[in-house]
Amino acid sequence: MTEPVFPTEESTPLTLDGPAGAIEVIVEAAEAHARPLVAVLCHPLPTEGGTMHNKVVTIAARALRESGAATVRFNFRGVGQSEGTFDDGNGEADDLRAVVAWVRRQRPDAQLWLAGFSFGAYVSLKVAAELKPDMLISIAPPAGRGWEFDAITPPDCPWLVIQGEADEIVDPAAVYAWLDGLKGLKNTPELVRMPETSHFFHRRLMDLRGAVKNGVRPYLPAVATMPDD
């Protein structure tokens, strides 16, 4: 497969060559004040219907585009048009590695941010220390849900965690205890607790959008400038 060029159009579907076959991708350009920044977002659990079109993922992507980032959403293996089968976070981490490698080849001068919701937060956390993003955004990371959070080495970068306090799927107390147990981090996670907010942020999606925009604002690179004609 010929590697596709990173697009500049408003919304472009692509197919990348991944470790389990094709990976279905959507790239969306910054909505205003474009910055040298690409954010890759990971979706929730495929076995529970999670896809890159999940509302939490799309609203987080929108918040990042409104902040000046281009965004890359993709389907993990076995979801949508992505080939392969569910691999409990292991193969999905390889899918993320492949997408990030493509972004870095295509946009070597841009910052690379990682974001994920629920299972997607786990996958992005799993490889963050290895991939060394410039920022990490974890929405409802599923601590206490059976994945090996104690084995995760957080990255040495700014890190925003957003957790609903009425989450019925991820226990907020488990998330807070996990974060409290992290020692020796150069960049302490910034935790945003959202009261009366369920796992899927029902009726709180606009609040989530604001939390993402406010949380990332201090870390945004300067707006890209066009060279003189």
**Burial of 195 per CB tally in 10 Å (0-12, 13-18, 19+):** exposed
State percent of the chain over pLDDT 70. 97
Q: What is the mean pLDDT of residues 24-36?
A: 95
The domain locations on the chain are: 11-219
More confident residue, 218 or 2: 218
**What b/e sequence results for 16-43 when a residue is b if at least 16 CB atoms lie within 10 Å of its CB, and e otherwise?**
bebebebbbbbbbebbeebbebbbbbbb
Q: What is the mean pLDDT of residues 166-175?
A: 97
Cα–Cα–Cα angle for 149, 37, 108, rounded to 5 degrees: 95
Q: Which pLDDT band holds residue 63 (cuts at 50, 70, 90)?
A: very high
More confident residue, 129 or 9: 129
Q: Which residues contact 15 (CB under 8 A, 6 or more apart)?
A: 1, 4, 22, 23, 24, 25, 81
Q: Which pLDDT does position 227 carry in this prediction?
A: 53
Architecture of domain 11-219: 3-Layer(aba) Sandwich (3.40)
Q: Which pLDDT does position 229 carry in this prediction?
A: 39
Q: What is the mean pLDDT of residues 100-110?
A: 98
Phi, psi of 220 (to 5 degrees): -70, 135
Is the pLDDT reported for residue 226 higher than 70? no
More confident residue, 60 or 32: 60
Written as one letter, the residue type at 218 is P
Question: Strand, coil or helix: what is 115?
Answer: strand
pLDDT digits (tens, 9 = 90+) for 75-96: 999 999 999 999 999 999 999 9
The predicted model scores a pTM of 0.96
Is the pLDDT reported for residue 99 higher than 60? yes
